[in-house]
C-alpha cells in the first residue's frame, strides 16, 4: 500500500471517528409531533456511602417549548413516588407555553415523599406539528462541604392501541 493511500485511509478513519458523536446526536432529534406523554425521572434523594445514607435533593422539573413558531398546551404535570403511587397534580388547568417559553415546578429538598425513584408524567399537545418540548429534571443538593447536581431527560412514551 502506498504512503498516499495510507494517509488517505488515516484521514478517512479520523474524520469518521470525529463525526460519529455528531451523527449520534443528530439521530436523537425528535420528529415533529402534535402531542406526547413524557416520563421524567426525578430523585428526591440518592444514597451515599456504604451504609446507603440518603442525600436529600431539591428537584426542578423544566418544560421548555423549543418550537420557535407554535405554542403548546401542557395538560398534565403529575408527580409519582418510587412505587408508582400518585402524589400530586401540579396543574389545575392546561398551561399554554408560547414559542420558546419555559415553565418549572420545584420539589423542595425537604420533601422526601418521592424517594429515589420518583417521576413526573407530563402530557402536552398542539394544534400544529411542532418540535417536541425539552422536558427534564435538575437535581441539586448540599450537605456539609459536599454538593451534587445532575440532570435527567424525559422520554416520550408510546401508548398501546388496546
The pLDDT tens digits of the residues spanning 63-77 come to 999 999 999 999 999
Largest CA distance in the chain: 71
Q: Do 74 and 61 belong together in one domain? A: yes
Tell whether 44 and 96 lie within a shared domain: yes
- Co-location of 51 and 121 in the same domain: yes
Name the DSSP letter for residue 109.
T
Domain that holds residue 92: 31-156
* Nearest-angstrom CA–CA distance, 64 and 132: 9
Q: Is 128 helix (H, G, I), strand (E, B) or coil?
A: strand
pLDDT at 9 over 80: no
- Read off the pLDDT band of 22 (50, 70, 90): very low
Phi, psi of 142 (to 5 degrees): -145, 135
65 lies in some domain: yes
> Do 76 and 18 have their domain in common?
no
Same-domain pairing of 12 and 59 = no
Instruction: Report which of residues 80 and 12 the model is more confident about.
Output: 80
Q: Beta 53-56 vs 45-48: how paired, if at all?
A: antiparallel
Residues 73 and 134 in one domain: yes
Contact 44, 79 (CB under 8 A): no
DSSP letter at 12 equals: H
Question: What is the predicted pLDDT for the residue at 145?
Answer: 86
pLDDT one-digit tens code per residue, 114-154 = 999 999 999 999 999 999 999 999 999 998 888 899 999 99
Helix, strand, coil content of the chain in percent (nearest 5): 15, 50, 35
Q: In terms of domains, do 9 and 24 share one?
A: yes
Q: How many domains does the chain have?
A: 2
Q: Are residues 115 and 147 in the same domain?
A: yes
Same domain, 72 and 46: yes
Do 150 and 113 reside in the same domain of the chain?
yes
Domain of residue 130, CATH code: 2.60.290
* Same domain, yes or no: 13 and 90: no
CA distances from 2 to 5, 8, 12, 16 (A): 5, 10, 15, 21
Q: Are residues 65 and 101 in the same domain?
A: yes
5 within some domain = yes
| Model confidence pLDDT, tens digit, residues 34-64 | 999 999 999 999 988 887 888 999 999 999 9
Amino acid at each position: 500500500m502506498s504512503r498516499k493511500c495510507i494517509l488517505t485511509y488515516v484521514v478517512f478513519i479520523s474524520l469518521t471517528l470525529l463525526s460519529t458523536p455528531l451523527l449520534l446526536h443528530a439521530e436523537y432529534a425528535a420528529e415533529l409531533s402534535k402531542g406526547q406523554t413524557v416520563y421524567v425521572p426525578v430523585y428526591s434523594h440518592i444514597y451515599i456511602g456504604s451504609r446507603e445514607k440518603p442525600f436529600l435533593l431539591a428537584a426542578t422539573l423544566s418544560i421548555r417549548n423549543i418550537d420557535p413558531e407554535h405554542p403548546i398546551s401542557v395538560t398534565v404535570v403529575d408527580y409519582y413516588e418510587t412505587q408508582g403511587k400518585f402524589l400530586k397534580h401540579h396543574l389545575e388547568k392546561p398551561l399554554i407555553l408560547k414559542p420558546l417559553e419555559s415553565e418549572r415546578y420545584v420539589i423542595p429538598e425537604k420533601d422526601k415523599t418521592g424517594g429515589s425513584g420518583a417521576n413526573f408524567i407530563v402530557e402536552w399537545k398542539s394544534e400544529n406539528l411542532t418540535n417536541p418540548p425539552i422536558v427534564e429534571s435538575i437535581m441539586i443538593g448540599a450537605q456539609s462541604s459536599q454538593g451534587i447536581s445532575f440532570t435527567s431527560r424525559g422520554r416520550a412514551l408510546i401508548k398501546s392501541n388496546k
